[in-house]
Amino acid sequence: MFPSLPPATRTLIIINFAVFLLQQVPGVGQTIEGLFALWPLGSGLFHPWQLITYAFLHGGWAHILFNMFALYMFGGALERYWGGRRLILFYLVCCFTAALTQLAVQYPAGSTEPVLGASGGIFGILLAFAWYFPSQRIILLFPPIPMPAWLFVTLYGLLELFLGVSGREPGVAHFAHLGGMLGGALAILYWRARHRFSS
């Protein structure tokens, strides 16, 4: 089934797993995270490239498996609709806006913890899937309730907003997730506007 994925989605998944395996090498993983995770602006460890590189690092097997499963499920459909170049550009834009959002939230709070993971890009992918395939049925793993994609993504976004504002899950970058969705929405609106004015 994996070889049937379109090439851009498959490549993103392979790169993420390759980097994750490098993170497991003693000594190497710590160096990679020190250089390429997204560190807060006031930490003295921030570098501009981290606005993208953090998205290719993950904090454990559950983290990467969840993100790559979502990319596998939804990225392929978008790539077939858009093509590989647009999918990769969209994914990177979502990761970038997720990073900016997280930095903006972290800075006034004085946080010193780094952020890593593809979740911002994944949330952008989820939003795009619901945008272009709103009636597609999605079945949750728990509870196993089928619902249209637009409803699933709307509820998920509202849950992320609640968790971020309430601080009930302090170890999760909920505002990065929302920033990825925001970047995805802005990218889609920009492409639509450009197409409308050029036709």
Burial class (CB in 10 A: 0-12, 13-18, 19+), 98: buried
Confidence bin at 198 (pLDDT 50/70/90): low
Helix boundaries (H) for 24-148 = 28-36, 50-53, 61-70, 76-82, 84-109, 119-132
b/e sequence 114-137, b meaning 16+ C-beta within 10 Å: bbbbbbbbbbbbbbbbbbebeeee
pTM of the model: 0.91
pLDDT tens column, 7-35: 999 999 999 999 999 999 988 988 999 99
Q: Tell which residue, 145, 64, 50, 61, has the closest CA to residue 100.
A: 50
DSSP H helix total and E strand total for the chain: 9, 2
- Write phi, then psi, for 48 (nearest 5 degrees): -55, -35
Q: Is 87 exposed, middle or buried (0-12, 13-18, 19+ CB in 10 A)?
A: buried
Say which CATH superfamily domain 2-198 falls into: Rhomboid-like (1.20.1540.10)
Q: What is the pLDDT of residues 90-111, one digit of tens each?
A: 999 999 999 999 999 988 777 7
Backbone φ, ψ for residue 148 (5° rounding): -65, 155
| pLDDT the model gives residue 83 | 96
Check residue 1 and give its pLDDT: 45
What confidence score (pLDDT) does residue 17 get? 97
Q: What's the whole-number mean pLDDT along residues 48-68? A: 95
Identity of the amino acid at 23: Q
